[in-house]
Structure 1
Amino acid sequence: VYSVDEVFMDLKPYERIYQKSSRALAEEICRRVYEEVGMIATVGLGENLYLAKVAMDIEAKHMQASKEGIRLAMLTEQSYRESLWQHKPLHDFWRIGRGIENRLAHYGIYTMGDIAMAALSGSKEKKNQALLYKLFGIQAELLIDHAFGYETCKIEDIKAFHSKSNSLHSGQVLPSPYGFSEGRMVAEEMAEDLALDLLKKGKDSAFVQLYLSFDEENGGESYEGNLVRNHYGKRVPKSVHGLYHFPKRSNQGRAFREAVLDIYDRIMDRRLRIRKLSISAEDVRDCEALPEGQLDLFQHFLTSAEKEQELTEKRQFLEKEEKARGAALAVMEKFGKNALLKGYQYLEGARGRERNRQIGGHSSGVSDMASIRRKEEATIEKNIVEEEDYER
Structure 2
Amino acid sequence: MIDYSKFPNRSVACIDMMSFYASCMAALHNLDARTTPIAVVGNLKQRGSVVLAASPAMKKRFKIKTGNRLFEIPRHPKIRLFEPRMEYFLEMSMSITRILHKYVPAEAIHVYSVDESFIDLTGTEKLWGDPAQTVREIQKEIYETLSLPSTAGMGPNMLMAKLCLDISGKKTGFAKWNFEDIPEKLWPVSPLSEMWGIGRQTETSLNNMGIFSVGDLAHASLETLEKKFGIIGNQLYHHAWGIDLSKVDAPPVAGQVSYGKSQILMRDYNSIAEVRAVLLEMCEDVAKRARDAGKAGRTITLGISYSKNALGGGFQRSRTIKEATNETMAIYAVCKELLSENYDARPVRQISLSITKLEAEQSVQLSLFEKDNWKDRAIGSVMDNIRNKYGSTAILRAISLTDAGTAIKRSELVGGHKG
Identify the TM-score tier after normalising by the shorter chain: 0.5 to 0.7
Deviations 1:353-378 (CA, angstroms, capped at 9, x unpaired): 3486343xxx65xx12xxxxxxxxxx
Superposed, 1:1-392 pairs within 5 Å as 1=110, 3-5=112-114, 6-16=116-126, 18-63=127-172, 71-106=173-208, 109-116=211-218, 119=219, 129=221, 133=225, 136-138=228-230, 139-147=232-240, 149-155=241-247, 158=250, 169-172=259-262, 174=264, 180-197=272-289, 201=292, 203-206=293-296, 209-215=299-305, 239-242=316-319, 255-256=327-328, 258-268=329-339, 269-271=342-344, 276-280=351-355, 326=385, 328-332=387-391, 344-345=399-400, 350-352=405-407, 353-354=409-410, 357-359=413-415, 367-368=418-419
Matched-pair contact (CA < 8 Å) for 1:168–1:284: no
Matched-pair contact (CA < 8 Å) for 2:296–2:358: yes
Instruction: Tell me the distance in 1 between the aligned counterparts of 2:229 and 2:357.
Output: 27
- Structure 1 pair 55/328, CA: closer, same or farther in 2 (3 Å)? same
SS at match of 1:54: helix
Alignment-mate amino acid for residue 235 of structure 2: L
Matched-pair contact (CA < 8 Å) for 2:325–2:331: no
SS at match of 2:189: coil
Q: Give the alignment's Cα RMSD to 1 decimal.
A: 4.9
- Structure 1 pair 36/198, CA: closer, same or farther in 2 (3 Å)? farther
Q: CA deviation at 1:150?
A: 2.4
Structure with more helix by fraction: 1
Alignment-mate amino acid for residue 241 of structure 1: S
Paired residues in the alignment total 296
SS at match of 1:86: coil
Instruction: Tell me the distance in 2 between the aligned counterparts of 1:167 and 1:135.
Output: 22
Matched-pair contact (CA < 8 Å) for 2:183–2:215: yes
Instruction: Tell me the distance in 2 between the aligned counterparts of 1:137 and 1:168.
Output: 19
- Structure 1 pair 272/171, CA: closer, same or farther in 2 (3 Å)? farther
- Structure 1 pair 355/162, CA: closer, same or farther in 2 (3 Å)? same
- Structure 1 pair 36/177, CA: closer, same or farther in 2 (3 Å)? same
- Structure 1 pair 272/41, CA: closer, same or farther in 2 (3 Å)? farther
Question: Structure 1 unaligned runs (5+)?
Answer: 64-70, 120-127, 221-233, 288-293, 300-313, 369-392
State which drifts further: 344-353 or 38-47. Answer: 344-353
TM-score when normalising by structure 2? 0.53
Instruction: Tell me the distance in 2 between the aligned counterparts of 1:144 and 1:319.
Output: 46
SS at match of 1:278: strand
- Structure 1 pair 161/344, CA: closer, same or farther in 2 (3 Å)? closer
Q: CA deviation at 1:264?
A: 1.9
Q: CA deviation at 1:97?
A: 1.9
Instruction: Tell me the distance in 2 between the aligned counterparts of 1:131 and 1:282.
Output: 25
SS at match of 2:120: coil
Q: CA deviation at 1:51?
A: 1.0
SS at match of 2:113: coil
Question: Structure 2 unaligned runs (5+)?
Answer: 1-109
Instruction: Tell me the distance in 1 between the aligned counterparts of 2:288 and 2:188.
Output: 47
SS at match of 2:198: coil
Identity percentage of aligned residues: 19
Instruction: Tell me the distance in 2 between the aligned counterparts of 1:341 and 1:146.
Output: 46
Alignment-mate amino acid for residue 145 of structure 1: H
Instruction: Tell me the distance in 1 between the aligned counterparts of 2:181 and 2:252.
Output: 30
Matched-pair contact (CA < 8 Å) for 1:44–1:52: yes
